[in-house]
Structure 1
Amino acid sequence: MSVTIKDVAKRANVAPSTVSRVISDSDKISEKTKQKVRKVMEEMNYHLNHNARVLVQKSTQTIGIVMKHSANRSLHNPFFPEVLRGMSSYCHKQNYSLLLTTGNSEEAIYQEVVNMVQGKRVDGVIVLYSKKEDKVVPFLQDCNIPFVVIGKPQGERSRIMFVDNDNTSAAKEAAMYLIQRGHKRISFIGDEPEYQVVQDRLAGYYEAMKEHNLVIREEYVQNLSQNVEETRNVIEKMMNIPEPPTAIISSADVNAILIMSALRELDYNVPKDISIISFNNTIISQLSNPSMTSVDIQTFQLGFEAAKCVIESIQDTNMFTKSVIIPTVIEERDSTGYNKKED
């Protein structure tokens, strides 16, 4: 016969309501009482019946996670496992689970979101991207379900809760870092231009270049799709123009690795011939050869704060819509150097 809350309360010599409050980690219960009740729960091998709790509280204790691509594709990028680790850390403290979309197309992902919300499979949603003409966020707004976006939202931002970096300032700082090291011919290579994060980083690059009256050649601004052959072709073409860049800003570590590999194949030395600074400061930036100077966007913290925002919104329906900006810092490594060439 399974152990009940009443059994635990009797053994701990407290009221059943006290046991319930300990389970929900209520601030109204002292830490001493919590420890005593939890010890009894462990001794009696008590396990919370989550299905019963869902029926009583009308809560799933689950947060839906909307990927911008299929899980298989997204998880190849070290950014996503790290942001999920941050979410999981906070959700675990609050006894929430995560439910990831797995669709292989934008429409399939959208339909999964519709199913999880209308099927009442989640209490709230975290959207891991921001882009124009996206159907997910307007749908979530219409449903009036708690949700948060990682990234700067499109449209009526005051009505949308989000967690982000100041990507424009971060990219401007990255460009300034190169300019201060004597680089004047600087390239910006993005990954997926339809996403707001890439647009913001490109804007920061433009700001820094214009402030210093530096020429922005059309060939210096490119976008890549994490394809080895495409990367080699783009880099080879760019390095063969009359005035090739002496430094590159990559909007993501994954692309930066491909860029570095292409430069090596073309007999360019990093950082002797050309410097590279990237974004996200994932594990691959530390393991690359040479190690990659990268803008640390604090990916874990982005995920942690997103989970915190959405769960707080679930628990307090009157909470004001808010935004959280996570600071960034440049982690200097071996892929950037001083430009000693004449420009």
Structure 2
Amino acid sequence: MKITIKEVAEVAGVSPSTVSRVISNSNRISEDTKVRVRNIMEELGYHPNAIARSLVSKSTKTIGVVMPQSTEIAILNPFFPQALSGVSAAAHKQDYCIVLSTGSTEDEQLKSIKDIVMSGRVDGVILMYSSTENKILDFLREIKMPILLIGKPLDNKGVLFVDNDNVAAAYKVTQGFINRGHTKIAYISGKFEFVVSLDRLDGYRNALWDNKLEFNRDYIVSVDYLKDEGYAAMNQLLQLKDRPTAVIVTDDAIAFGVIEALKDADVKIPEEIEIISFNNVPLSKFTNPKLSSVDVNAYQLGYKSGELLINNINNIEGVEKSFIVQTKIIYRESSKR
């Protein structure tokens, strides 16, 4: 039999309105009363109705999450389940839930997030990407919904963000190749509509510039975040008369295709071509050869994102507006030290 708020009030010896205020964590109720009422709620097995609770507290205790493409496709890239796991853990720690937007195109996702936001189902939204043009971000800014980006925003108009220093990370990878004698270094990237791809390109280009090496546009290939796209990109580079001797790949899912293309072409890794990728997903250590990759700490990116957004929603005093997660190159068999 379902326990009601009235029954909780009777056992606790308080009014139903006091129980409601305990549920919404009102400052008008003493801590002693809150503890006593919550203990009785637990003993009786009472669970507050989420919709009713949101009406009282003006909080849904839920955050929305938007993937960079359809959830079905994004979830195939190991980075996003890792980051999403971090968001979920941070949300759970503060008694929040998460809801994913749906849709296979940006317009469909925009409609989905509009439905979620305008129906009052979320207190804030995490966009798991930063792009050069973003209808969803523009809409959320317009209605003043709390937003957080995983990735650096193009401007700093009050948007929370969590990111790596992708410029520095790509610079370090490129400089490492140069230190090992490489002058023909290719860059296989995700789409340049994403800020992370542009940042890593900047780091790559800066390292070439500082070492007085030519920036060869033939060595730059932009593809979708898929293994087959990486395979095609590497085949394109192998057709060059002056083919590269080292390759930086901005995503492990792409790099898996790069390795397969080189093996099919009987190119020795790393003797003839070295590879270092980004994200260091768990599968990286199981490729043949094992893939060297920059650990961006996807779980931590997600966890800090959830924590930062929820703290800002709750107006925690002194909470930061951004956070940079450290990176580390994990060297394996696809590259030399």
Match of 2:332, SS state, is: coil
Name the residue aligned to 1:196: 195
Distance 1:246 1:90 in 2: 42
Match of 2:153, SS state, is: coil
The percentage of aligned residue pairs carrying the same residue is: 41
Name the residue aligned to 1:104: 104
CA contact (8 A) 1:159 1:321 kept: no
Match of 1:324, SS state, is: strand
Name the residue aligned to 2:258: 259
Call closer, same or farther: CA 1:222–1:28 in 2, change over 3 Å: farther
Distance 1:238 1:329 in 2: 27
Call closer, same or farther: CA 1:147–1:231 in 2, change over 3 Å: closer
1:287-334: CA deviations, max 9, x gaps? 212111111111111111111121112111887771111111111111
Name the residue aligned to 1:216: 215
Distance 2:28 2:57 in 1: 19
1:26-84: CA deviations, max 9, x gaps? 99999999998777655433323223212211222111111111110110111111111
Distance 1:30 1:272 in 2: 70
Q: Please tell me the residue identity of whatever aligns with 2:88.
A: S
CA contact (8 A) 1:313 1:319 kept: no
Report 1:130-145 matches (<5 A). Answer: 130-145=130-145
**Post-superposition shift, 1:6?**
7.0
Report 1:179-328 matches (<5 A). Answer: 179-226=178-225, 231-316=230-315, 322-328=321-327
CA contact (8 A) 1:226 1:258 kept: no
Matched residue pairs, number? 337
CA contact (8 A) 2:65 2:128 kept: yes
Call closer, same or farther: CA 1:20–1:299 in 2, change over 3 Å: farther
Call closer, same or farther: CA 1:113–1:317 in 2, change over 3 Å: farther
Instruction: Indicate the larger mover: 318-327 or 126-135.
Output: 318-327
Q: Please tell me the residue identity of whatever aligns with 1:77.
A: N
CA contact (8 A) 1:158 1:321 kept: no
Call closer, same or farther: CA 1:178–1:14 in 2, change over 3 Å: farther
Distance 1:325 1:234 in 2: 30
**Post-superposition shift, 1:2?**
3.1
Name the residue aligned to 1:44: 44
Call closer, same or farther: CA 1:267–1:202 in 2, change over 3 Å: same
Match of 1:236, SS state, is: helix
Q: Please tell me the residue identity of whatever aligns with 2:334.
A: S
Q: Please tell me the residue identity of whatever aligns with 1:74.
A: A
TM-score after normalising by structure 2:
0.88
Name the residue aligned to 1:64: 64
Report 1:70-89 matches (<5 A). Answer: 70-89=70-89
1:235-284: CA deviations, max 9, x gaps? 23422433321111000000000000000000012112211100011112
Q: Please tell me the residue identity of whatever aligns with 2:290.
A: S
TM-score after normalising by structure 1:
0.86
CA contact (8 A) 1:189 1:224 kept: yes
Match of 2:126, SS state, is: strand
Call closer, same or farther: CA 1:39–1:189 in 2, change over 3 Å: same
Name the residue aligned to 1:341: none
CA contact (8 A) 1:60 1:121 kept: yes
Call closer, same or farther: CA 1:120–1:51 in 2, change over 3 Å: closer
**Post-superposition shift, 1:102?**
1.2
- In the alignment, structure 2 segments of 5+ residues that lack a partner are none
Call closer, same or farther: CA 1:83–1:228 in 2, change over 3 Å: closer
CA contact (8 A) 1:160 1:321 kept: no
Distance 1:20 1:55 in 2: 10
- In the alignment, structure 1 segments of 5+ residues that lack a partner are 339-343
Call closer, same or farther: CA 1:34–1:335 in 2, change over 3 Å: farther
Distance 2:245 2:87 in 1: 38
1:206-253: CA deviations, max 9, x gaps? 011111122332221111225666544432342243332111100000
Distance 2:139 2:318 in 1: 20
Instruction: Indicate the larger mover: 286-295 or 35-44.
Output: 35-44
Distance 1:271 1:14 in 2: 73
